Amino acid sequence: MSELTRKAEKLDAADELASKRGEFVLDDVVYLDGNSLGALPVAVPGRVEDVVRRQWGELRIRSWTEGGWWTAPERIGDRIAPLVGAAPGQIVVGDSTSVNVFKAVVGAVRLARPTGPERDEIVVDATTFPTDGYIAESAARMTGCTVRPVEPSSLPDVLGERTAAVLLNHVDYRSGRLHDLPSLTAAVHAAGAVAVWDLCHSAGALPVGLDEHGVDLAVGCTYKYLNGGPGSPAFLYVRADVQERFDSPLPGWNSHAEPFGMRPSYEPAAGAMRGRVGTPDILSMLALEAALEVWDGVTVDAVRAKSLALTDFFLECVAAYVPEGRVSCVTPLAHGERGSQVALRCPDAGDVMKRLIERGVVGDFRHPDVLRFGFTPLYVGFAEVERAARVLAEVLA
């Protein structure tokens, strides 16, 4: 037994989250792609069966009221809230992340211009996930703004009187770099602008502290570290004290103050409900609600501590096993700058990932040369991490 195998055994034995793995449907594949699609929680299939057969099949329309379908978007929002450091009443679940980015960015520009169009720039993380950039560009055209791309570390240099809204990723999807949400939010506010954070790669992986750091608006997906299933609905956070001024660019009947009044004119609902649009996607939404039960008794701090231990150990194993110079790490080594993934640059990354998957180690490939490995602390163990690095070294040898 090698020294690293022994170390993995010890780390697994001391892992306080180890029993959580049993709450997921997994096999002997080393699954390091939970930052793309989280694994299936054991409770989900039975719940979906109940929602379809009993709630829909038997109760039919009554489920909207008696079964709690109507209130699901805010109820599930409140279940996500403690995972991202938010008090209840500020998160609504529904629509895709892309749609919520649109609501948030246009809503942010409107918040930043209480008396008319003065501020005319939307600042966007230059390495952002493509959809955020496309939507910011469209939002800019609609609101008479221009988009200004920036490396998040240089954000303070471009902020000013013209800045209306700033859209940033908490963790960069490709490199795994964690951006400094508290100080960047403070800089946005010092310039009089509105901060929108994309939490897709941090929600459920590390503490976010939305309320503590005064974030204005945030969006995030639920199919990565929250394990809600393919295409599960996203969430939108609107801080309590800006809710009354939040003017959604998609004012549907579900966010009306009196949805069943069927009024010709729009009057927005109070609270998180203001972020809704149309009829919620109940099947996906209730699958997500079942998936969130794995968080019972789990703190985000414990998840973060294990996440850092997993990524540290992976880097240690890669350094020990992989021939020098064959890969270079794109993810920052400093804990304060690392999300819950490790991205390794390697010239033939697409082919390498194919061979890893054939050998039972699943990560993913990001164009043009990045091997991405996501570490979900609720179900990934240290022995698996050692095996992944060992197989990677064999594939690269």
Given the rule CB under 6 A, which residues bind ligand PLP? Answer: 96-98, 129, 131-132, 169, 173, 198, 200-201, 221, 234
DSSP class per residue in 136-174: HHHHHHHHT-EEEEE-GGGHHHH-STTEEEEEEESB-TT
5 or 131, CB closer to ligand PLP?
A: 131
Binding residues for pyridoxal 5'-phosphate: 97-98, 129-132, 198, 201, 223, 253, 279
109 or 234, CB closer to ligand PLP?
A: 234
Binding residues: 97-98, 129-132, 198, 201, 223, 253, 279
- Whose tokens are 């149309």? That residue is 278
**How far apart are alpha carbons 75 and 298 in whole angstroms?**
19
Helix, strand, coil distribution of the chain in percent, nearest 5: 45, 15, 40
CB of 132 to ligand PLP, least distance (A): 5
CB of 5 to ligand PLP, least distance (A): 34
CB of 177 to ligand PLP, least distance (A): 12
**90 token code pair:** 């500020």
**343 token code pair:** 């991205």
128 or 243, CB closer to ligand PLP?
A: 128
Backbone angles phi, psi at 38, to 5 degrees: -60, 155
**How far apart are alpha carbons 109 and 128 in whole angstroms?**
19
HSE-up of residue 117 (Cα within 13 Å, Cβ side): 10
Whether 372 is catalytic is yes
**How far apart are alpha carbons 78 and 366 in whole angstroms?**
33
Q: Kindly list the strands in the beta sheet with 370-374, ordered across the sheet, starting from the edge strand earlier in the chain.
A: 328-329, 341-345, 370-374, 364-366
125, 198, 216, 281: the catalytic one is 198
Q: Using N-to-C axis directions, what is the helix angle for 3-13 and 382-396, rounded to 10°?
A: 150
**69 token code pair:** 């379908």
CB of 118 to ligand PLP, least distance (A): 29
200 or 217, CB closer to ligand PLP?
A: 200
CB of 226 to ligand PLP, least distance (A): 12
5 or 98, CB closer to ligand PLP?
A: 98
79, 103, 174, 224: the catalytic one is 224
Residue whose C-alpha is closest to residue 307's, from 219, 392, 364, 379 = 379
31, 173, 223, 314: the catalytic one is 223
36 or 299, CB closer to ligand PLP?
A: 36
Helix (H) or strand (E) holding 351: helix 349-358
CB of 261 to ligand PLP, least distance (A): 31
Whether 134 is catalytic is no
**How far apart are alpha carbons 385 and 261 in whole angstroms?**
56
Which residues are marked as active site? 129, 198, 223-224, 372
